[in-house]
Structure 1
Amino acid sequence: MRHDLIIFDNDGVLVDSEPISNRLLAAYLTELGHPTSYEESIRDYMGSAMHRIHDLVLERTGRRLPEDFDDVFHARVFAAFERELKPVPGADDVLEKLAADGVPYCVASSGSHERIRVGHRTTGLDRWFAAERLFSSQDVGRGKPAPDLFLYAAERMGVAPERCAVVEDSPLGVQAAVAAGMHVYGFTAMTSAERLTGANQLISSMGELADLLV
């Protein structure tokens, strides 16, 4: 199927950051008195904007996270990225093929602009993404599962939502893309197919995606 715009989620789709960030998130929440396992972090927070983590903890415990939670967490994550972060296998090849074929693409991530840039710089993917191709939940009022971020990215890129395809690996992201009226490729590298209900097609590797898109 030919699309006029490919919108990539970032964490877990382009950069292999989810194992790192969820390990650190579980450890930090536990340190603050909110016992959380790695598996629970993946289940509850993968694909979330930071405000959703605050909201869920407050809802469940009646306690607010510290005011400097985001800054401390991001500092830990960025330090770990510098040591450990790798691109998702095949991501570079997909982007190279899209660029060569003249297919427009961008990123729409729950992560901050700084997180996106640090991840891309560390993995070398920054060569594919000028600033005008990067969109963050910081740019809109509501993060995923609301459709706002995907609709904003499509508008800024000048493409109608129904002509867009989204590559997502989180249930929240799939919900957001479906709500935006976009075609959804569910990436099952870290998330079971059962949790990506609503995706139009499931893929297990970036190589598989390259064959579908180009």
Structure 2
Amino acid sequence: MRMISAVLFDVDGVLLDSAAAHRRVWNSWALSRGLDAEKVWRLTFGRRPEDTVKDAAAHLDPAAERQSLDELLAKERDGILPVGGAVRLLRALSGRAWAIVTSGDRAFVEARFAATGLPLPAVRVYGSDVEQAKPAPDCFALAASRLGVDPSACVVVEDAPAGICAAVAAGCTVIGLTTTHTAVALSRAHMCAVSLDEVRELLLARGFLNTP
């Protein structure tokens, strides 16, 4: 692993355990639109909802469908909790450079962080902040720029293939977190971890985190 100047975290599947809630939302939406729910679900990971809609149902208006999806997700907010080890890891980052880089909605993500006690970093990049979202590298490049560091000095923690592709393309070092996908599916990552506790140990070993 290269010298670390900052850590960039995806949110869903990395810091928030939201897979079950998102699955219910996408299943409900797909069935209501006469689509194959399983095929739609496979298109969702690491991507903006409107981008999934474009691929799953080109005949529908992505903006209107995004609104419908956001309304469905709002009903699931109480079922979304931190991933195990998230609170401890983020608290250990106090005084360090870190950011969240997500395809999710700003208001929803920030409300869930507040409700679950997760600290928010100063730098936050959302899907709406870039023209080309994951798997394009723009979001990670933007986060690194806002932190004032080179992407090559950033470690990204991602759980989805689209996000890993984006981070690699940006020039970051990537830890694939196997919360929603297998290590094989995350093979483009530079290394994999099974938990945030393991991620924490990797960062401690590199001297980036504050010791307990």
TM-score, normalised by the number of residues in structure 2: 0.90
Distance 1:202 1:185 in 2: 5
Distance 1:72 1:29 in 2: 11
1:86 to 78, 81, 87: 81
Number of residue-to-residue matches in the alignment: 203
Percent identity (aligned): 31
Distance 2:125 2:138 in 1: 11
**Alignment-mate amino acid for residue 43 of structure 1:** R
More helix by share: 1
Distance 2:171 2:195 in 1: 24
Note the residue ranges of structure 1 that are not aligned, 5 or more in a row.
none
Q: Which residue of 2 aligns with 1:27?
A: 28
Distance 1:33 1:94 in 2: 42
Contact 2:40 2:56 in 1 (8 A): no
Contact 2:53 2:62 in 1 (8 A): no
CA displacement at 1:23 relative to structure 2: 2.0
CA displacement at 1:42 relative to structure 2: 4.1
CA deviations 1:138-181 (Å, max 9, x no partner) are 11101000000000010011010100010000000000000000
Distance 1:41 1:117 in 2: 26
Distance 2:196 2:41 in 1: 21
1:197 to 187, 191, 194: 187
Is 2:100 aligned against 1:110? Answer: no
Contact 2:43 2:56 in 1 (8 A): no
Contact 1:57 1:65 in 2 (8 A): no
Distance 1:156 1:213 in 2: 21
User: Root-mean-square deviation (CA), in Å?
Assistant: 1.6
TM-score, normalised by the number of residues in structure 1: 0.89
Contact 1:85 1:122 in 2 (8 A): no
> Quick one: structure 1 residues 14 and 195, their matched pair in 2 at CA, closer, same or farther if it must change by over 3 Å?
same
CA deviations 1:59-93 (Å, max 9, x no partner) are 5xxx2147532122112212211x21110000011
Contact 1:22 1:41 in 2 (8 A): no
Contact 2:175 2:192 in 1 (8 A): yes
> Quick one: structure 1 residues 207 and 29, their matched pair in 2 at CA, closer, same or farther if it must change by over 3 Å?
same
Distance 1:21 1:41 in 2: 12
Is 2:141 aligned against 1:156? Answer: no
**Alignment-mate amino acid for residue 30 of structure 1:** L
Distance 1:187 1:34 in 2: 30
Distance 2:18 2:159 in 1: 12
Note the residue ranges of structure 2 that are not aligned, 5 or more in a row.
205-212
Q: 1:134-173 to 2 correspondence within 5 Å?
A: 134-173=124-163
Q: Which residue of 2 aligns with 1:186?
A: 176
SS state at 1:27 partner = helix
